[in-house]
Amino acid sequence: MTAKPKVAALEGWFTLDEQAPQLLGSRCKTCATVYFPKQTSFCRNPACEGTEFEEAPLSRRGRVWSCTNASYQPPEPFVAPDPFVPFTIAAVELEAERMVVLGQVVAGVEVTDLKVGQEMELVLDTLYTDDESEKMIWKWKPVA
Ligand SMILES: [Zn+2]
């Protein structure tokens, strides 16, 4: 059996570089504020009238700001395996971009394993597999 191609579960939200994946945000060309998910129509900075954006790969590491566990099926655009398996969610603060990015934490890591301020890095994992391909999503993993 041949391996199925790996594709992004959310097209254009992150790179598919398995060694060093990066989330893809957008940077306002006027005030340099970075947004994730991508902002493409207008800048949310109230002091800025920028309407042009460029793609901005985000930092691969950040620190835990908060975490929780999802013991219920999350809303779209999150797609969960069926049957649903509870998982940990971390809000990770990216220092350079000064933003918090939510993500599922890799399997086996419980809320009680994480501490606020702990360093995390971005990894790719399989969200689910269908007939055509393996759908990939980003996850946060504690830095060893
Ligand atoms: Zn702006």
* Residue-by-residue pLDDT tens, the chain, 144 positions: 678 999 999 999 999 999 999 999 999 999 999 999 999 899 999 999 999 999 999 999 999 999 998 877 766 666 666 677 788 999 999 999 989 999 999 999 999 999 999 999 999 999 888 999 999 999 999 998
CA–CA distance, 140 with 45 (Å, rounded to integer): 28
Whole-number pLDDT of residue 54 = 97
For ligand 1, the distance from its centroid to the CA atom of residue 35, given in whole angstroms, is 10
Residues linked to residue 123 through DSSP beta bridges, in sequence order = 139
Residue 37 belongs to a domain = no
**Could you tell me if residue 52 is left (phi over 0), alpha (psi between -120 and 50 degrees) or otherwise beta?**
beta
For ligand 1, the distance from its centroid to the CA atom of residue 51, given in whole angstroms, is 7
Residue 128 belongs to a domain = yes
For ligand 1, the distance from its centroid to the CA atom of residue 97, given in whole angstroms, is 14
Residue 30 belongs to a domain = no
CA–CA distance, 124 with 21 (Å, rounded to integer): 7
Whole-number pLDDT of residue 109 = 95
Residue 5 belongs to a domain = no
Q: For the chain, how many structural domains are there in total?
A: 1
Residue 26 belongs to a domain = no
C-beta of residue 9 within 8 angstroms of C-beta of residue 136: yes
Whole-number pLDDT of residue 127 = 87
Residues whose beta carbons lie less than 5 angstroms from ion ligand 1? 28, 30-31, 43, 45, 48, 50
Residue 29 belongs to a domain = no
For ligand 1, the distance from its centroid to the CA atom of residue 26, given in whole angstroms, is 10
For ligand 1, the distance from its centroid to the CA atom of residue 1, given in whole angstroms, is 49
CA–CA distance, 121 with 87 (Å, rounded to integer): 17
For ligand 1, the distance from its centroid to the CA atom of residue 29, given in whole angstroms, is 7
Whole-number pLDDT of residue 78 = 66
Domain of 88? Answer: 59-142
Q: Supply φ then ψ for residue 113, to 5 degrees.
A: -85, -15
CA–CA distance, 12 with 130 (Å, rounded to integer): 19
Residue 42 belongs to a domain = no
Residue 45 belongs to a domain = no
Q: Quick one: CA torsion of 70, 122, 137, 44, rounded to 10 degrees? A: 80
For ligand 1, the distance from its centroid to the CA atom of residue 48, given in whole angstroms, is 5
For ligand 1, the distance from its centroid to the CA atom of residue 135, given in whole angstroms, is 33
